Structure formats: C-alpha cells, structure tokens
Amino acid sequence: IKIATDGGDVWVLIGSPDVPFGGQALVRIDGGTRQITMRIALPAAHDEISEAIIPGSRGIWIPRRPGDYRGGLRQLLRVDRASGRVVRVGRPYDYGLIAGGPSGLWGTRWTTNVSPSKVRLVRIDPPAGPAGSDLSRLSLRAFVVGNGRIWGETTREVRGPNRLTVRFQYYVVAINPATARQTGVLKPIGPVLQAR
C-alpha cells in the first residue's frame, strides 16, 4: 500500500480485484469527512511495480518500474485530480530516483550524450525545469523535496590507516531547486559505520 496527502485529500494506492492481471486502484479520501470521493482503476501492471504516489502541479504522479528491475526504464502515470483520467506519460523515462514536493517532481538522470556519463537532477513537473551540475560524485541514495530545498542522502567511504578497513560515513546535502545545484557543505548525520 502507498499513501500520500495533497492538501485536504489523502490518496491511497491499493490492489484492486476489479482490474485484471494484478491491477491497482488509486483511492481519493476527503481528509475532512474521511469519505471515499474517487476510486480510479489504473492500467494493468502485471509486469510493473508502482513505487510511490507523488502530488504534483498537474496531477498525481505514480512512477512505475519493471517488476524484475533489471535496470529497465521507468514509466510515469499522471492522474487528473478532478476527472480521475489516467495518462501514461510519453516514452519511458530513464530516471534513477524520483521524488516530489512543493517545487515540483524531480528525477536523477544519467546523461548519455557526454563521456563520461554524468548524473543530473532534472525537474519533470512543471516541465522544462533546470538540470543541475554533475552530481555523480554525490552518489545520491535517496532525496526528498521540502522546506524550499531538495535534501539528499549519500554515503562516502572512509578508509582506515591500513587502507584495508572500509567504513561508511552518512551525509545529508542540500540542493537548490531553482538551479538544481548543490548548496553548502555535506553534513555528517551519523558515526562512521564499518562495512560487514
């Protein structure tokens, strides 16, 4: 089950017996009355896994990935809040991570027209957003959007004096949503942990 809030509404993604081949339904619940106000059958997804529900400026976004996850391309569904119409957005998107918040829907993407390839943070919704500087060295493991910033979580290797013992230090980094570039210095968020 996936759940997200969008102002006064709550959106829940559940398995649906009404849709064949392991289909899912998106349920809209009024936060004030706690009544179901909409139930939307999503396209059958027997070979895809819905990863999240992300409210955006143009609707509710649902990123999907192949069920076997062999590095395949993601699909994006967009659901209209008012009508419940579901749109499979264009071609597959080769995004590594996808997250959203007040500043829009964002994804990390490998550039393929340069060598060596670079990782950039791209705004998907609203469209034509900024693509930031190369973030490959950050090795982002996850990111969230909120409080006027994009916050990323990453790790770095810390080697001992003998260069054999590998440990990891966890960091949080702020990214400016206006430029999609890293701002400030990485901040450690925990002790160095030894790899096992």
Non-local CB neighbours of 50 within 8 Å, separated by 6+ positions: 2, 13, 24, 42, 62, 63, 64, 77
The pTM (predicted TM-score) of the whole model is: 0.70
Straight-line distance from the first to the last Cα atom of the chain, in angstroms, rounded to the nearest whole number: 32
- Cα dist. 190→130, 136, 154, 171, 182 in Å? 31, 22, 12, 8, 20
For 63-88, what is each residue's pLDDT tens digit?
A: 887 665 555 567 788 899 889 999 87
Per run of 10 residues, the mean pLDDT along the chain (length 196 residues) is 85 71 81 93 72 83 71 76 84 71 76 65 72 71 80 76 70 83 72 52
Report pLDDT digits (tens) over 107-136.
Answer: 887 766 655 567 778 787 776 566 666 777
